[in-house]
Amino acid sequence: MKKVSVIIPVYNAEKYVEDAVKSVLSQTYENIEILIIDDGSPDKSIEICERFKNPKVKIIRQKNRGLAGARNTGIRHAQGDYLAFLDADDMWLPEKLEKHILHLENSSQIGISFSRSAFINEVGEDLNIYQMSKLTDIKASELLYFNPLGNGSSGVFRKEVFAAISFIDDSSGVDECCYFDTNFTMYEDIECWLRIAIQTPWQFEGIPEVLTLYRVNPKSLSSNFLAGIEHWEKLDEKVKLYAPKLIEEWKQLAMAFRMQYLAREAVRRQTGSIAVELINRSLVYNWRIIFLDPFPTVFTWIMSYLLWLVPKSIYVKMEALILQIKGSFQRHKFVQEKNASA
């Protein structure tokens, strides 16, 4: 049985990290190591992690270097044949690793196996809505505007994938082998996935099951959405260095999808005026998004304007009903996918 290294970056996660670690220790796939990367966390997160008296759990301490830096440290220390990342505020269902390893073992061309994710709230309650990304035939151009994994806790990787995109960085004062670019404090996942898709033969493929529980961040987007746009521009500038034709061909459509994504995040955080501004920007960048991605675009447009125009007390009731309907459609799709793959 091949080993899986589970890398959990930890910074200010004392409310959630115990549940995250427990969800890994509860996996049906038993040959694992859990690498908890203490990224200079100032709270009691690591004190909580130290209570796990289990030989599978290892704590690695470093000065704060951000999520990308913590993941790089984890990869360098990993002994497993497969690597998986779990954000400290997320959780896994017990059979997650077992199903991903089976998927990878049966598909030699697949380097990254990922799953559907269910949204949970701050206290871990199921919100009954899901991240529904494309599962197969994922192209590099699509990675410019969507994250097939959905979040940082969804994927399981062959170790060879990271070996293929490694580079030397000396920003810490010494030469280190790195994989995620520490110059990115947003979208570091997408930046890494793009290098994998463009520079290696490894393919992304998803499992049509919900195996990850993704916690919705309650922090407001109002002060961050402009930073998000700036980071997309920064990402494009880097990709242009090694794939200029890709950026030239897909930049405008990619920006339309990115604005739609940020608008959804603004709706989720109930900042109506920002949501309206972002969804309108999306249509200005490329109105064809209405036909290329009709349901999410129209849904986001409707929710943005309802949030902006309708009194909050009424909106909350309307949102609950709409999300209930959306969740029902998503669960119906799960059944169809499962039947198709049976």
- pLDDT tens per residue, range 89-118: 999 999 999 999 999 999 999 999 999 999
Q: Please tell me the least confidently modeled range out of 1-5, 251-255, 292-296.
A: 292-296
Residue % of the chain over a pLDDT of 70 = 98
**Residue 275: is its pLDDT beyond 50?**
yes
**Residue 35: is its pLDDT beyond 70?**
yes
> Residue 251 carries which side chain, given as an amino acid letter?
K
Q: Identify the residue whose tokens are 């009691």.
A: 44
CB atoms within 10 A of CB 147: 19
Strands of the chain (E only): list them.
Answer: 4-10, 32-39, 57-62, 82-85, 91-92, 110-120, 126-131, 156-158, 167-169, 176-178, 203-215
Task: Report d(CA 73, CA 182) in Å as an integer.
Answer: 11
Domain ranges of the chain: 4-215, 225-309
pLDDT on residue 171: 78
- Using alpha carbons, list the distances in angstroms from residue 20 to 15, 47, 118, 335: 10, 14, 15, 28
**135 DSSP assignment:** -
Specify the CATH superfamily of domain 4-215: Spore Coat Polysaccharide Biosynthesis Protein SpsA; Chain A (3.90.550.10)
**Residue 222: is its pLDDT beyond 50?**
no
